[in-house]
Chain A
Amino acid sequence: MPAVQETVEQVRAIDIDQYKYGFSTDIEMELAPKGLSEDIVRYISARKNEPAWMLEWRLDAYRRWLTMREPDWARVDYPQIDFQDMYYYAAPKSNAAPKSLDEIDPAILETYKKLGIPLREQEILAGVAPENRIAVDAVFDSVSVVTTFKEELKKSGVIFSSISEALHEHPELVKKYIGSVVPTTDNYYATLNAAVFSDGSFVYIPPGVRCPMELSTYFRINEQKTGQFERTLIIADKGSYVSYLEGCTAPMRDENQLHAAVVELIAHDDAEIKYSTVQNWYPGDSQGKGGIYNFVTKRGDCRGARSKISWTQVETGSAITWKYPSCILRGDDSQGEFYSIAVSNGAQQVDSGTKMIHLGKNTRSRIISKGISAGRSQNTYRGLVSAHRRATNAKNFTNCDSLLIGNACGAHTVPYIESKTASAVFEHEATTSKVSEDQMFYCMQRGLTQEEAIALIVNGFVKDVLQQLPMEFMVEAQKLIAISLEGSVG
């Protein structure tokens, strides 16, 4: 049909370059000299006024990193990264330890406002019910610019600050837990992160406390040729609960930028951590030029008995995603969950999944992964479920569904299952389907446009996972998925 053909052409013409957050902020920055060396590691540590043990820790990691090789087992393909051709530290000049929001460069506040992240507590408070309040740690390039609602959180004993600040105010906690889940020797990017990490969030929930509001960190890469290496450390002490959300965006740039973060979660006896990510880094243009390399190590340690860690991720951005949020189920009767939606369009490449390591008795894990590939993208689920000898009665349920849109994309599922105990029960289900022309025609016959039809069908496909997100972000995530898939038909 000529008319339909025309529509398809039009839709094709709107390529995926509709990234809403592609603006950059013009602001004077302080940059470390380009490249990576021991001096740069010392420079970063000095800028942050770190204690000597922290510098030693970083240098150890750096020396170790020099001996390591980049991992190449993931199903992603990109040119060699020149680690000497980027900046490892970039901070807004005006941001020398601001005491209050009034001291922060208005350009930065404006940036976050444009991103829909209000940082002024008065603005957040206006018209928001207390239970819906969200405390935000805003990280701009290498530094945390502000953390909101700190005082209020302090009343319940919750510590929520940038990790640099925590190093000064709670060095004993940082020292005790940092690197205890993701050791400095863990993997190439985690080791690099340990050497050069610049900032990130720190959360400590004291025993028995249910964190009174959602906590979140909003990461923004702004500066060119800059890597972002943040480190997040969340500790939920006995019987506590916290829900944490991470969001991220970056300007549209032709070059590739590296984001190599480390997130460590520790849940003690009966504690629960719910960690949600809405990852919307710049994905590059439709030809695969530019975009963020998102090489991230996220791991949670269910250290205590009956503890629970739940990862929920909505991954729509980044040129390349290499990320496996995992759970070590160490405590008896502990639980791990992984809910993932990974959307790839254009020339994006995703290799993502999880690891559920069952060490304790009666540990349970659940994996629900929904991959959606469109355009010429490649989307791989890679997951490991393992049970140690001690992990009697370990149970896992895995469900991996892939949805293909169009004929040029790929979906791959690579599950690894290892069990050393006869009493473990591991279930794995996987499906691959296509958005069918029948479904599209049915929806359009009822009046939905091509884009609306795709969004509706895809949102149906990911419903089980969307439901895991905090209420406020469900609608956001739905919209984000629709935007990411714009121009995917044709």
Chain B
Amino acid sequence: MSLLEIKNLTAKLADEDKQILNGLNLTVEKGQVAAIMGPNGSGKSTLSYVLAGREDYEVTDGEALLDGENILELSPDERAAKGLFLAFQYPIEIPGVGQMTFLKAAVNAQRRKNGLDDMPTPEFMKLVNGRAKELGISPDMLRRSVNVGFSGGEKKRNEILQMALLQPKLAILDETDSGLDIDALKIVADGVNAMRSPDRGFVVITHYQRLLDYIKPDVVHVLSAGRIIKTGGPDLALELEAKGYADIVGKAA
């Protein structure tokens, strides 16, 4: 069974008529890193939001199976507990809520939904401190409010920290490279690579080949006008970088 199987997914913004995803088909296997590339407005972020269950979108047709189960009827928190993680393109600030409080609430909410007891605090602290160190997240950052006053790079590293703590089955990285300098990019990529495993799949959404130099994809999909129009190996990303999207998009149309 595939880890993620999207069949004929059609979706639009809830309060608009225009379809953004137009019968999208995509399969991600366990252990696979699938890159999704595409021009602006092709539906990349919509895909990540629809999979994670954001309310502003309405699915008009199709299904998305995570481990064989259609997740489109589940609330966002239920999808999260089933192992779906979205690293946000623009991580959200929550003033007054300490990082530790937030991380602990997330870890325990998922544990409870999966029938586990809350993680004991000492164990949790050890876990967070260990992962934070690997990602170059300072103790000071852990004491601040969630994403408040974080630089762009810090916010992205914070997303990866959350991913590392929650150990999802499927991680969707929505333009995680945007706004990162090369050093931050390497740290983020190392964090992702460290989590690659035969049971876990990644969907890496990006505009640019650059990120894929550090996170080597197994497969590259090109998204255009709400549909996957081409699939290939890592070379496809290089080709796109060299020629631009117009060529491929033009051929498909």
Binding between chains A and B:
yes
Would A460 and B145 be within 8 Å (CB), given that A438-B92, A439-B92 are in contact?
yes
Closest to B85 in A: A445
Q: Are B96 and A444 in contact (CB under 8 A)?
A: no
B106's partner among A441, A448, A460 (CB-CB below 8 A) is A448
Smallest CB separation, A155 vs chain B (Å): 39
Smallest CB separation, B240 vs chain A (Å): 29
Q: Are B97 and A442 in contact (CB under 8 A)?
A: no
Closest to B102 in A: A456
Closest to A436 in B: B92
Would A447 and B88 be within 8 Å (CB), given that A4-B53, A456-B97, A457-B97 are in contact?
no
Q: Does B141 contact A (CB under 8 A)?
A: no
Q: Are A447 and B110 in contact (CB under 8 A)?
A: yes
Interface of B is mostly: mixed
Q: Are B94 and A439 in contact (CB under 8 A)?
A: yes
Q: Does A459 contact B (CB under 8 A)?
A: yes
Which residues of the partner chain A approach B92 to less than 8 Å between Cβ atoms? Answer: 436, 438-439, 441-442
Separation of A165 and B194 alpha carbons in the complex (Å)? 71
Which residues of the partner chain B approach A2 to less than 8 Å between Cβ atoms? Answer: 73
Q: Does A96 contact B (CB under 8 A)?
A: no
Would A442 and B91 be within 8 Å (CB), given that A1-B72, A437-B56, A448-B77 are in contact?
yes
Q: Are B97 and A445 in contact (CB under 8 A)?
A: no
Closest to B75 in A: A7
Smallest CB separation, A489 vs chain B (Å): 11
Q: Mark A433-464, 1 if CB is under 8 A from B, else 0.
A: 00011110111111111101000110111111
Q: Are B105 and A456 in contact (CB under 8 A)?
A: yes
B75's partner among A3, A439, A459 (CB-CB below 8 A) is A3
Which residues of the partner chain B approach A457 to less than 8 Å between Cβ atoms? Answer: 94, 97
Q: Mark B56-98, 1 if CB is under 8 A from A, else 0.
A: 1111000000000000111111011100011010011011110
Smallest CB separation, A433 vs chain B (Å): 9
Separation of A3 and B63 alpha carbons in the complex (Å)? 13
Separation of A462 and B92 alpha carbons in the complex (Å)? 19
Q: Are A447 and B53 in contact (CB under 8 A)?
A: no
Interface centre among B77, B102, B106, B110 (most CB of A within 10 A): B77
Separation of A431 and B54 alpha carbons in the complex (Å)? 27
Which residues of the partner chain A approach B55 to less than 8 Å between Cβ atoms? Answer: 1, 4, 437, 441
Which residues of the partner chain A approach B86 to less than 8 Å between Cβ atoms? Answer: 445
B54's partner among A441, A446, A459 (CB-CB below 8 A) is A441
Which residues of the partner chain A approach B113 to less than 8 Å between Cβ atoms? Answer: 447
Smallest CB separation, B205 vs chain A (Å): 15
Which residues of the partner chain A approach B77 to less than 8 Å between Cβ atoms? Answer: 444-445, 447-450
Separation of A441 and B49 alpha carbons in the complex (Å)? 10
Separation of A456 and B98 alpha carbons in the complex (Å)? 10
Interface centre among B97, B107, B110 (most CB of A within 10 A): B97
Which residues of the partner chain A approach B97 to less than 8 Å between Cβ atoms? Answer: 456-457, 459-460, 463
Q: Does B101 contact A (CB under 8 A)?
A: yes
A447's partner among B58, B74, B109 (CB-CB below 8 A) is B109
Separation of A448 and B53 alpha carbons in the complex (Å)? 13
Which of chain B's residues 192-237 have a Cβ closer than 8 Å to chain A? Answer: none
Interface centre among A2, A439, A444 (most CB of B within 10 A): A444
Smallest CB separation, A403 vs chain B (Å): 10
Q: Mark B102-145, 1 if CB is under 8 A from A, else 0.
A: 10011101100100000000000000000000000000000001
Smallest CB separation, B12 vs chain A (Å): 12
Closest to A449 in B: B77
Separation of A1 and B72 alpha carbons in the complex (Å)? 8
Residues of A in contact with B, size category: 20 to 34
Separation of A155 and B92 alpha carbons in the complex (Å)? 55
Q: Are B53 and A442 in contact (CB under 8 A)?
A: no
Q: Are B94 and A443 in contact (CB under 8 A)?
A: yes
Which residues of the partner chain A approach B10 to less than 8 Å between Cβ atoms? Answer: none
B105's partner among A4, A452, A463 (CB-CB below 8 A) is A452
Smallest CB separation, A474 vs chain B (Å): 13
Q: Are B94 and A452 in contact (CB under 8 A)?
A: no
Q: Mark A1-16, 1 if CB is under 8 A from B, else 0.
A: 1111001000000000
Which of chain A's residues 1-57 have a Cβ closer than 8 Å to chain B? Answer: 1-4, 7
Q: Does B170 contact A (CB under 8 A)?
A: no
Separation of A114 and B56 alpha carbons in the complex (Å)? 44
Q: Are B96 and A460 in contact (CB under 8 A)?
A: yes
Which residues of the partner chain A approach B52 to less than 8 Å between Cβ atoms? Answer: 441, 445
Separation of A347 and B77 alpha carbons in the complex (Å)? 29
A3's partner among B74, B102, B105, B106 (CB-CB below 8 A) is B74
Q: Are B95 and A4 in contact (CB under 8 A)?
A: no
B109's partner among A1, A441, A442, A446 (CB-CB below 8 A) is A446
Which residues of the partner chain B approach A444 to less than 8 Å between Cβ atoms? Answer: 53, 75-77, 80
Smallest CB separation, A94 vs chain B (Å): 45
Q: Does B162 contact A (CB under 8 A)?
A: yes
Which residues of the partner chain A approach B101 to less than 8 Å between Cβ atoms? Answer: 456
Which residues of the partner chain A approach B96 to less than 8 Å between Cβ atoms? Answer: 459-464
Which residues of the partner chain A approach B80 to less than 8 Å between Cβ atoms? Answer: 444-447
A442's partner among B72, B94, B166 (CB-CB below 8 A) is B94
Would A3 and B73 be within 8 Å (CB), given that A443-B94, A446-B80, A460-B94 are in contact?
yes
Which residues of the partner chain B approach A4 to less than 8 Å between Cβ atoms? Answer: 53, 55, 75-76
Smallest CB separation, A187 vs chain B (Å): 35
Which residues of the partner chain A approach B58 to less than 8 Å between Cβ atoms? Answer: 1
Interface centre among A1, A4, A452, A459 (most CB of B within 10 A): A1
Separation of A117 and B95 alpha carbons in the complex (Å)? 34
Which residues of the partner chain A approach B88 to less than 8 Å between Cβ atoms? Answer: 442, 445
Q: Are B76 and A441 in contact (CB under 8 A)?
A: yes
Which of chain A's residues 194-242 have a Cβ closer than 8 Å to chain B? Answer: none
Q: Are A461 and B110 in contact (CB under 8 A)?
A: no
Closest 7 CB pairs of A and B: A460-B96, A460-B97, A446-B106, A447-B110, A444-B76, A442-B92, A447-B109
Instruction: Identify 14 residue pairs between A and B in the complex whose beta-carbon atoms are under 8 Å apart, listed by A's number.
Output: A1-B57, A3-B73, A3-B75, A4-B53, A437-B55, A443-B105, A444-B53, A444-B80, A446-B105, A447-B80, A447-B113, A456-B94, A459-B97, A460-B97
Measuring CB to CB, which residues of chain B are less than 8 angstroms from any residue of chain A?
14, 52-59, 72-77, 79-81, 85-86, 88, 91-92, 94-97, 101-102, 105-107, 109-110, 113, 145, 162, 166
Given contacts A3-B74, A445-B52, A447-B107, could you give 15 more A-B pairs where the C-beta distance is less than 8 Å?
A: A2-B73, A3-B53, A3-B73, A436-B92, A437-B56, A438-B92, A443-B94, A443-B106, A446-B105, A456-B97, A456-B102, A459-B96, A460-B97, A461-B95, A463-B96
